[in-house]
A and B are shown apart, each in its own frame.
Chain A
Amino acid sequence: MARADISEEVKPVVMIEEQVDTGLGPLLSGYRANYTPGGDTKDELQGRFTLLPNRPLPQFDHAFAKGFEARDDFNHTRHIYAMVCDNKLPYRHQAITELTGFVNPFLVPLLGAGTVNCSHLGEARQVMFFELPTATRLSDLMKTQPRMHEHKVIDFVMNPVAKALLGMRDKKISHGNICPSTVYVGDNPMLGECATMPCGTMAHYLYEPIERLMCDPLGHGEANDKTDMYALGILAYELMYGLDKIKAIPRDDFIRRVLQQGAYTVFATNREFTDAFQDFFRGVLNDNPAERWGLDQLHQWINGKRFNMIAPQPPKDATRPFTFAGEEYFSRRLLAHSLHRNWREAAKEIRNSKIDRWCEAGLHRTELAERMERALRIAGDAASDKQVSEMMTRAICILDPNGPLRSRSLSLRPDAIGLVMADLLRNEDAELTQVLNFIESDIGVYWSEQSDANKNQDMSQAIWRLQKVRAQLKNPAFGFGLERVLYELNPSLPCQSALLKPYHVTTVVEALKTLDALAPSLGPDTSFIDRHIASFIAAKIDRSKPVKLHDLTSIPVLMENHELIVMRLLAEAQQRQKKLPLVGLCAWAAMRIEKMIDEIHNRVIRKRLKLQLKKLANTGVLADVMTAIVNRDIVERDHSGFTQAIALHEINFRKIELLNNPKMLEYKSKKMGGRMAMTISYTALVITGFITLSNMLGI
């Protein structure tokens, strides 16, 4: 056979290129960046503040940061301490920005904040340096002096706290964690720091008003002056009367009591307040956020103004009760709470419970009934769990418009979605789906529409962000999805990529410089494929559309290559900076691209592209390095050339097969041999005929 004959002549085909020395390896290994990821000097911030990791201050520790002694190298007489934050949760970015360097005699000064390379952790973290309060912490004082006279409460606690809060209000921030642990009393009374922890996480739950009390620990969202006033009210109450009895009540029972009787009634029962404090408690312990005292009223009250406040009445919204789970409810908010606590039963019964009719006949709120009827229509008989859940969330929103958003096992305010999401991701919790459902169903907008009290500037911004990330959540492309939502909702969250996390990267420039500095140790084997890096960069450069490598349409493998997409995002981020050469990052990327160039078929083009990689990497511009592969002309020329080469190869192969076919050879031989024999015979005949004719004619 022809193939057998051909195979006898096996010869290795010599390729034009296979091993091309690009020179990228030596370039990358010899590269040393000027930038040190995480900070040049260990335990130091801005060359001024030094963290002393061997001297912990456990009295300042909390769930989100650890306290250490620190030193101000510019002022050795000043006593300062440092708080080393956890790097998996976002910080109160606005509070940090506004309070850094802010001087208020009644507020613990935040001297400096930023990324510090912590030697005891072996990684960089957000560290905040505060002046060490010289006064006694109120919680410590309460151990020796459990009760305080009301005048002392006003002079030593409320007055300084109010002044501190007034200063903070000027900076458009609130404290959110007023409690005995964050108040210092003595010669130099001060309100403690609030920047290292989310609002509502430090204080006992009794310090939260009812609409925040029902939230999960991280679901409180940003505080405001009214929530701070409530906390200050409870603090004053605790100092004067103690909270031991109320603290003994289980949390859910306490919530039910407040919802049934009202916070003021719960705290005021069996208590006789002075006229002044009666006004104060009636003003701050109001369950209606719109009617609750703010900082201005407190200031006036401290200055001696009397308000003659009417005692808040126990909530009774309905003229006739609504029966659920064997209990009769007159209060909308209590019913909402009960529906949440008995989610499964409520989900089964709510559609047949005629709750919309109760809204109309019991609450006398026709518009509420219509809204409830619309909400119940979301989930029909064959509704999915997600639809039922959304219906329940909306129904609860209607009943308790000031309360948190509630799902089966979550309860949070819309502006806390980002923080809760970060926490659930940190713990890889299954409840994350419920948070994502909140975003997908655009429930934030629905919640804000239910009450005017829900509409304020900060909340509107939070809801606008939730609306913005809705489309991004559904997009599965690199730079989008869950991670993108995480960074969009938490602008202060450091990049959670395993590569960058130890270096506490919070900006695009830091990310680029860190990757550039890490390139010699990471490249070339480490892939760029990292959803966190992609999403972090995309969020910071505000990329609204997924990266499409249209130039690589003819090579589908490369067109969908996630590594190239991440590189493109990094290149775009670099282009937005002025003069930021990244030779290390470019060399690393070039070495990754070198492997991708093997997708180009033509060895001549391949060799040329590989040889120019070093030159491109030396420019330090990632976009230039990418032109080696993301190049429409080259890719299309290669694609069409390859198609033609395949055709030509096949044509030649068939021709050789034909030429080596023995039957064809026999056929041709017979044909040509027959012609030859015939030609010779005819020639002989002609010659014989000519001779014979010559003889006949006697020539």
Chain B
Amino acid sequence: MSTTTLAEDSAAKAAAAMKPEERPKMRLRTKILLIFFSLLLMAILRTGFVFFIIGVLPSIVAYYTDVSKHRYTFKSIFACNLSGMLPFLGKMMMHGPSSSLLQEIMSRGTNWLIIYASAMLGWLLVQVCPMIAQIMIVGLHQTQVARMKRVQEKIEGEWGPEVAQFSYSADPNEVHY
């Protein structure tokens, strides 16, 4: 790889990291699937679909607030939120459409606590995981940097300090390894 290409690549990556991400538009296939599943759930759950909508409200909010390209926040919150709702949805599907069961589930505060706490757990994961990842990446980078510095030292030792003439754009003494 030429040095120019590498420099361009480096700059592009850095620029990409700094650039605000645009929300990707929902694709038509996703829209059709969403409508299909909504109709399917409406057919299975009947009035229980209202419970479903209220239950996934954190995910809906996350969908609209997460403007990132990969929507990791939304996906994490939605997966956790759905995990919290699944036991109740399973019960409703086993008993079939039943107003009394729906009333019983929706009237219990602990059920809502479970559902929203699971969504909350997803949000916590989104907050905690980057910190853990940063620790891991810093460790990895430091190992790589140390290895490269050793290579640099070897090059300079063999070819002299003048070999770094193009490495330091402004002041050659600004950075030393």
Contacts and interface: CB of A to CB of B under 8 A. Distances in A.
A binds B: yes
Interface in A657-674: 657-661, 663-674
A678 B86 contact: no
Interface of B, secondary structure class, is helix
Nearest to B73: A674
A656 interface: yes
Contacts of A14: 153, 157
A496 B160 CA distance: 42
A652 B151 contact: yes
B79 A685 contact: yes
Contacts of B145: 656, 659-660
A654 B159 contact: no
A340 B138 CA distance: 92
B161 A660 contact: no
A693 B89 CA distance: 11
Nearest to B75: A678
Nearest to A684: B83
Interface residues of A, number: 62
Contacts of B155: 645, 648-649, 652
A650 B167 contact: yes
B166 interface: yes
B73 A653 contact: no
B158 A604 contact: yes
Contact of B80 (A656, A663, A684): A684
A647 interface: yes
Contact of B83 (A601, A650, A688): A688
B162 A677 contact: no
Contact of B76 (A641, A652, A669, A674): A674
B174 A3 contact: yes
B1 to A, nearest CB: 7
Nearest to A9: B177
B90 interface: yes
B165 interface: yes
B144 A659 contact: yes
B136 A656 contact: no
Most chain B CB atoms below 10 A, which of A672, A674, A692, A693: A674
A696 B93 CA distance: 9
Contacts of A673: 72, 126, 128-134
Contacts of B17: 661, 663-664, 666-668
A603 B160 contact: yes
A677 B126 contact: yes
A15 B168 CA distance: 19
B148 A677 contact: no
A377 B82 CA distance: 109
A676 interface: yes
Contacts of B177: 6, 9, 11, 13, 656
A689 interface: yes
A646 B1 contact: no
B33 interface: no
B28 interface: no
Most chain B CB atoms below 10 A, which of A9, A10, A13, A16: A13
A672 B17 CA distance: 13
B137 interface: yes
A651 interface: yes
B35 interface: no
A10 B157 contact: no
Contact of B165 (A646, A675, A681): A646
Given A665-B138, A684-B79, A695-B90, A645 B3 contact: no
Interface of A: 3, 6-7, 9-11, 13-16, 601-604, 641-642, 645-661, 663-678, 680-682, 684-685, 687-689, 691-693, 695-696
18 contacts: A6-B177, A642-B159, A649-B166, A660-B141, A661-B17, A663-B17, A664-B13, A665-B137, A665-B141, A670-B130, A673-B129, A677-B72, A677-B76, A678-B76, A685-B79, A692-B86, A692-B89, A695-B87
Given A13-B156, A15-B157, A682-B79, 19 more contacts: A9-B176, A11-B177, A13-B161, A14-B157, A15-B160, A601-B162, A642-B163, A646-B159, A649-B159, A649-B164, A654-B6, A655-B6, A656-B149, A658-B14, A659-B145, A664-B14, A670-B130, A681-B77, A693-B90
For the complex of A and B, 4 pairs with smallest distance between CB atoms: A673-B130, A674-B72, A667-B17, A681-B79
